[in-house]
Chains A and B, each alone.
Chain A
Amino acid sequence: MFGGKYVPETLMFPLQELEEALETAMEDERFIKEYRELLSEYSGRETPLTLAANLTRKVEGPKIYLKREDLNHTGAHKINNAIGQALLAKRMGKQHLIAETGAGQHGVATATVAARFGMSCKVFMGIEDIKRQELNVFRMKLLGAEVITVESGNGTLKDATNEAIRYWVSHCDDHFYLIGSVVGPHPYPAMVRNFQKVIGEETKQQIIAKEGRLPDRIYACVGGGSNSIGMFYPFLEDPVELIGIEAAGLGLNTAEHAATLTRGSKGVIHGSYTYLLQDEHGQILEPYSISAGLDYPGIGPEHAFLFDSGKVRYEAVTDLEAVEALRCLSETEGIIPAIESAHAVAQAIKEAKHLPMDQIIVINLSGRGDKDMHTIMNVLEGDDDNQGAL
């Protein structure tokens, strides 16, 4: 019921084409081998599973491990998926990549693989995000990508995605649309999950090697939901409690949040049937979060299913709690997490205080915080532009 292809007729053919190419690619050992090789030789996988010993002592609760997606090339899990889809584009003979980006992490990952594969790259980015993420815009340009300013709507990720889809509709014969999360029409959500599940697969092997057993709980932040589904998917049939953390922004009792599952309702966004933030007339609402990566009014359809079926528990964390967690992890472990990942850290710390010391939890550290320094500086030094956290 969730998912589907709620798209204009002109996209049905390229989606069908993608589906067929994906199916044969995933059964082709050479394709999988090349993908695995690039993950290890180019992105530096596998990423470590680090014991956060100081944080564990500080919380006085269960053993806390961090899955270090922040140590990937380009600084976040986004590259796992970008490598996979770019390989597929190459296989399909498409020389031009299109991508949408919010904070710029997926845009940078796509620009990176485009450079690596000698492809052209157009990244659609909302005008508001361009202002907030100057450095990533420069990184993309340095990598040879063209950054296209999106002024329609409110000029954020939702609008950038609309514009990328519109461009794709006109150029689907020779362009490949490289979606950055487990959203969009079928087969995108399943494809992106398959390119991200390496996170959970590695984590499972690593924790068993270190502890001889599975963890009790796993935490991951959820915007569109690609790092979390990549982490959760290999554990879905295991006796492990999985917790996805949405952005509560300024608070769930305000209109300024991005808590799609916690506060949203069912409907269609960007081609798939899922949960989204909308008004009573079915108009999509503009979300808010301090974290550009979680600032999205929809969520992957597989998360909608996991939410309804109760297989994953979803919680929401405010800007303020996330900034506190970012500071805490920086001070205790010398690791500055992305503000997105800090949402997962915040919820984990909150719950860990009440858990027995013989338990084990894992937090997916989806990215590093370098990109957020400007935002965090403004918050901690009390800039009025930032809507009042701290």
Chain B
Amino acid sequence: MTKLHSMTCTAAFLVGASAVHAANIEFWYGNTGKIEEAIQAHCAAFNEAQTVHRITCVGQGGYEAGMQKAIAAYRSRQHPVLIQFFDAGTLDLMLSDAVVPVQEIMPDAPWNDYINGARSYYETSAGELISQPYNGSTLIFYANMEMLGEAGIDEVPQTWEGAMEAARQLKDAGVACPFTTDAHPWRVLEQFSARHGAPIASNNNGYGGLDAEYTFNGGPVADHMLNLAAWREEGLVKLDQDTVAGKYNAAFNAGECAMMEASTGSYGAAYGALGNKVKISMAPMYDGVERRNTLIGGASIWVMKGHDDADYEAARSFLDFVRDVDQQIEFTRRTGYMPVTKAALASLVESGKADTLEFATAEMGVASLNQPGDENSRGIRLGFYVQFREVFKEETQKAFNGDQTMQTALDNAVSRGNELLRRFEQTYQGAILP
């Protein structure tokens, strides 16, 4: 018995010794469809490229579902080493005490190479990146040039005034749906306010502390929301529910709508459906407002606490791998997401591929993210923000239904949002915003 025992011990020691730094780690992600395939390709390529570590990538069926499962897993100490989380959950995670800042476990990685719009969204007040930007997107403007051409328009409008002028012409030419959006807060609130340099909340959208308050019921955002409602009355703007297709991007791809505001991530499907008719441009501005950067959408990779050194060694190696220029370009090609480092973008431009249709969104999107920023275009750092998005959608939908005015909707969204912020502040009493 003792002999057997000592033999097992020796064997265990030998196995341990031969693979001091080797680890099997898990990476949880939320995307599905084509993007999931690209993520799985990343994982397979990583496992093939080296033999020390193994990564198992597990799809959770959605960003929100991924977060739920991570919360449950963390509470029962079954959580993975790496996890992908989406933009709106940033502050919840920052204060969760469940993650290690990437810059802390990998101090020597080229963090300054990340493009500005991607950095500012995911960095602490001290300028330290807390998670590694992975699949980055941003808001751009899409036009169906064939439909615009039939109405006598040959250029993509750059301003809201221009876009609505074009919409009127399209309407007169018999187009039932000139411009479409789903009025999701990511589009009409966050991306709009960032590029117009207007805050949606005090303390620079919460970057200055947890006692921020929503302020968007006055100023440029409110004006724009009132305009959207009026333009919809006029028949220039169609929401999801007004379209036959039932979804703004499907309606654009089906040739029902002539223009839309959408993520760079929508490009693949739009190009697949409409080919050369699709032309893209930076999201429209109001006349006379200086253009600021748009915000990065999509998601980033976070390192979770409570694992041993070997696991973190594997995590570092995977994060380095996906940062690799060729890996990023391949990911961009497969998904329509943008390169997130300057090196990857430079390499893409240098290779001449940036001009090809496959990569059409890369330069446009990065250019939009790299516009000069100000303290209101860094990002959104507000608590229970996912819940706030639901509140915003609910209140503005009631306004679009005609149950209340848009101004009332915005006032209600602000006061309900402020209640959420106060509760968040109380929940994280004593926590310091990193």
Question: A and B from one assembly?
Answer: no
